[in-house]
Amino acid sequence: MPLTRIGFIGTGIMGRPMAHNLLKAGYPLTIHNRTRPRAQPLLSEGAGWADTPAETAQSSDVVITCVPDTPDVRQILMGKHGVIEAAKPGLICVDMSTISPAATKLMGAELAAKGVTLIDAPISGGEIGAIEGKLSIMMGGPKEAVEKVRPIMEVMGKAVTHCGPLAAGQMTKLANQVMVIHTIMSISEGFVFAERAGLDLQTTLDVTSAGAASSHSLRALGPKIIAGDFKPAFMVDLQMKDLRLVLEYADEVKQPLPGVALAKQLLAVLQAQGRGRDGTQALIDVIRQLGKKPS
């Protein structure tokens, strides 16, 4: 039986290594990206190129999207030269972006009218997880379609979970982002407290990583903070987008999230300072600034 033909749209920080792992696993891959040069490494590895999302869909059994925000996904799937224009009945679209649950449901209904199944499958694990094929993938959609694409997902992730019907993956990812931002906030506050107390940060990291405060975020971001490395594994701009989605949905279900609202305001300081493309570990600098004495 021939391998499933995959179309992959979005070759950014996360998408490029994910697509690379699919190529390495032997899947026939056609890629599309807004800017072709960013896709060149994958083309050099043997991926085919499509000029539009519609062209991507024409040569694929499964189309995967991994792009920044809801409008990007809608344009790719439903817009001019979008997937829907060329979609054949039986096509499965897997959106691995983090976007609005409500928009996911609407697009799913529009695609279903064409005989196309939409699965939402947002991801967690950062750039390292994408490179190592160890992402957590949260899937929402019909069980039969989810099981069809599970072998593909398992190339990119170590934890592939069917969370429920369409949009359940997105809602699970938003819950994940609530927990992640609180962890980054606690790391920032803990490190700044240690600095002001005159402690050695490496020693502090070694001790806390071995105890109850340990977390993936602490182990991954702690060394970067100590080194003054603010290159993004996950950008402030993208975290702000995710927290906007969290608060929109929290408002819809009438659930106050005061900690998320505070974290979003603090991250907004970084955006105002022109640091939206820094990694989320840059939040520590905002906490540092709060403790500075007026000059």
Rounded distance between C-alpha atoms, residue 125 and residue 131, angstroms: 10
What does the DSSP 8-state code read for residue 131?
H
Closest CA to 228 of 263, 276, 191, 264: 191
Catalytic (active site) residue 293: no
- Looking at 173, 224, 254, 264, which residue is catalytic? 173
Give the number of C-alpha atoms closer than 13 A to the C-alpha of residue 152, restricted to the C-beta side. 26
- DSSP, residue by residue, 66-97: --SSHHHHHHHHHSTT-HHHHPPTT-EEEE-S
For helices 258-272 and 236-252, what crossing angle results, to 10°?
Answer: 150
Q: Are 134 and 125 in contact (CB under 8 A)?
A: yes
Which structure tokens are listed for 70? 């809801």
Closest CA to 221 of 195, 185, 196: 185
Q: Are 134 and 158 in contact (CB under 8 A)?
A: yes
Residues recognised as catalytic: 173
